C-alpha cells in the first residue's frame, strides 16, 4: 500500500558542459560538471482536484502546461502510473535558480527533482536506474535526441566523463583554475540546435563528422590536461572547441561576443556551453582575482548573470 505524505521535497542541480556538447550525441565523449550554485527544489503538497503547478516559467493546471513542459508532465504521469496512483490532487511548486533554456540542464534537473519529490510524497524509494530512465523519457520529449549527459550530471555530485550508452566515469577535478559562466540572457534552443546539427550530418556527412570527431579528440585531450593540472592547455582546447562549435552552427553573435570579451580580459580560454544558439558561455582563469575581473568584463559586455566555479572542488560563488 502507498502511504501519502502531506508534503514532500525533491532537489537537483544544474550542470556545465566543459567540453563535448553536440559531439556527445554522435558517440563522442564529453566532460560535464555538477553546478551546485544553481539548484532546483520541487515541493509537493496535497490539494483537491486537478494538479496545479507554480513556477517562474509557468503557473497553471496540469492540463494547461505549455509544450516546453510536456516532458515534465510526462514525468509526472510516468511516475503516477509506475506507483499506481493518480497524477491529480497535487500542488507542485518549482523553485529554480537554474536559468531555463540556457544550456545549464534545467529541463533534466526539473524532471529529476519532480520525480524525487513524487517518490518522496508517495513514500517510494526509487533506484538510480529507474530515476534515470524516467528522466531520459522526459528529456526525449523536451530535446528530441538527447545524449543523456544532462540526465546523469544533474543528479551527480562528481564531474563526469560521459559517453552515450556507457556508464559514466567520474573524474577527479583538481585544477588550479576557475571557470566563469555567463548568461547571454537569450534563450537557447537545444532541440533545434541538435536537430540542425543532425541536418548538417545528413547533408554533408564526411565534413560534419570530421568536425564532430575533432571535438571528440579535443575532449580526450582535455581529460589529459585535467589530470596534469594544465590550465593553459585546457584553455587553448576550449578556444579550438568553440571554433568547431561555430562550424556546427550552434553558436550565436551574443555567445561569440562574450567569448571575445572573456579572451580580451585575458581568459585562458572560452567557449559556449550546452546546446548553444543563446544560453551560456564559459571562460577559464588561473586565479580567483582574475576570474572576478573576467566576470566583470562579461557583465560589461552584456551578460545578465555570471558565476565563478572553482575547479578544485571548492564552493561555487554567485557573482
Interface residues with ligand PMV (CB under 6 A) are 17, 21-22, 24-25, 103-105, 143, 146-147, 149-150, 188, 190, 194, 274-275
C-alpha distance from residue 49 to each of 24, 203, 253, 256, 260 (Å): 43, 50, 47, 48, 52
C-alpha distance from residue 174 to each of 177, 199, 225, 265, 288 (Å): 9, 38, 11, 24, 15
Give the helix/strand (H/E) hosting 158.
none
Q: How far is the CB of 51 from ligand PMV (least distance, A)?
A: 25
Query: Which is nearer to ligand PMV, 183 or 231 (by Cβ)?
Result: 183
Query: Which is nearer to ligand PMV, 113 or 297 (by Cβ)?
Result: 113
C-alpha distance from residue 29 to each of 120, 234, 289 (Å): 34, 16, 32
Q: Which residue has the CB atom at the shortest distance from ligand PMV? A: 275
Q: How far is the CB of 151 from ligand PMV (least distance, A)?
A: 9
Query: Which is nearer to ligand PMV, 30 or 268 (by Cβ)?
Result: 30
Query: Are residues 26 and 145 in contact, defined by beta-carbon separation less than 8 angstroms?
Result: no
Q: What is the CA radius of gyration of the chain?
A: 19
Q: How far is the CB of 190 from ligand PMV (least distance, A)?
A: 4
Strand partners of residue 13: 39
Q: How far is the CB of 154 from ligand PMV (least distance, A)?
A: 9
Strand partners of residue 160: 32, 170
Query: Which is nearer to ligand PMV, 277 or 290 (by Cβ)?
Result: 277
Query: Which is nearer to ligand PMV, 17 or 259 (by Cβ)?
Result: 17
Give the helix/strand (H/E) hosting 137.
helix 128-143
Query: Which is nearer to ligand PMV, 24 or 78 (by Cβ)?
Result: 24
Query: Which is nearer to ligand PMV, 103 or 235 (by Cβ)?
Result: 103
Return phi, psi of residue 169, to 5°.
Answer: -100, 130
Return phi, psi of residue 120, to 5°.
Answer: -65, -45
Q: How far is the CB of 219 from ligand PMV (least distance, A)?
A: 11
Q: How far is the CB of 192 from ligand PMV (least distance, A)?
A: 11
C-alpha distance from residue 51 to each of 14, 121, 250 (Å): 26, 14, 37
> Using CA atoms, how far apart are residues 69 and 85, in angstroms rounded to an integer?
21
Amino acid at each position: 500500500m502507498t502511504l501519502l505524505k502531506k508534503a514532500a521535497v525533491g532537489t537537483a542541480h544544474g550542470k556545465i558542459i566543459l567540453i563535448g556538447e553536440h559531439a556527445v550525441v554522435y558517440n563522442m565523449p564529453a566532460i560535464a560538471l555538477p553546478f551546485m550554485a544553481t539548484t532546483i527544489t520541487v515541493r509537493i503538497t496535497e490539494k483537491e482536484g486537478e494538479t496545479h503547478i507554480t513556477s517562474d516559467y509557468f503557473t497553471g493546471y496540469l492540463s494547461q502546461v505549455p509544450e516546453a513542459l510536456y516532458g515534465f508532465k510526462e514525468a509526472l504521469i510516468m511516475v503516477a502510473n509506475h506507483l499506481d496512483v493518480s497524477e491529480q490532487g497535487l500542488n507542485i511548486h518549482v523553485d529554480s535558480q537554474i536559468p531555463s533554456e540556457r544550456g545549464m540542464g534545467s529541463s533534466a534537473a526539473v524532471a529529476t527533482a519532480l520525480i524525487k519529490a513524487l517518490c518522496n510524497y508517495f513514500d517510494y524509494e526509487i533506484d538510480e536506474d529507474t530515476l534515470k530512465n524516467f528522466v531520459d523519457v522526459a528529456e526525449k520529449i523536451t530535446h528530441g535526441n538527447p545524449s543523456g549527459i544532462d540526465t546523469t550530471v544533474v543528479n551527480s555530485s562528481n564531474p563526469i566523463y560521459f559517453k552515450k550508452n556507457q556508464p559514466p566515469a567520474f573524474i577527479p577535478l583538481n585544477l588550479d583554475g576557475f571557470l566563469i559562466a555567463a548568461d547571454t540572457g537569450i534563450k537557447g534552443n537545444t532541440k533545434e540546435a541538435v536537430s540542425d546539427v543532425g541536418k548538417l550530418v545528413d547533408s554533408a556527412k564526411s565534413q560534419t563528422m570530421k568536425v564532430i570527431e575533432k571535438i571528440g579528440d579535443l575532449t580526450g585531450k582535455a581529460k589529459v590536461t585535467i589530470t596534469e593540472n594544465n590550465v593553459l592547455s585546457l584553455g587553448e582546447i576550449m578556444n579550438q572547441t568553440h571554433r568547431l562549435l561555430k562550424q556546427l552552427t550552434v553558436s550565436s553573435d551574443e555567445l561569440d561576443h562574450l567569448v571575445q570579451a572573456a579572451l580580451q580580459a585575458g581568459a585562458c580560454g572560452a567557449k559556449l556551453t550546452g546546446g548553444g544558439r543563446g544560453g551560456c558561455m564559459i571562460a577559464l582563469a588561473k586565479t580567483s582575482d582574475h576570474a572576478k575581473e573576467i566576470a566583470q568584463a562579461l557583465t560589461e559586455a552584456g551578460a545578465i548573470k555570471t558565476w565563478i566555479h572553482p575547479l578544485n572542488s571548492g564552493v561555487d560563488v554567485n557573482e
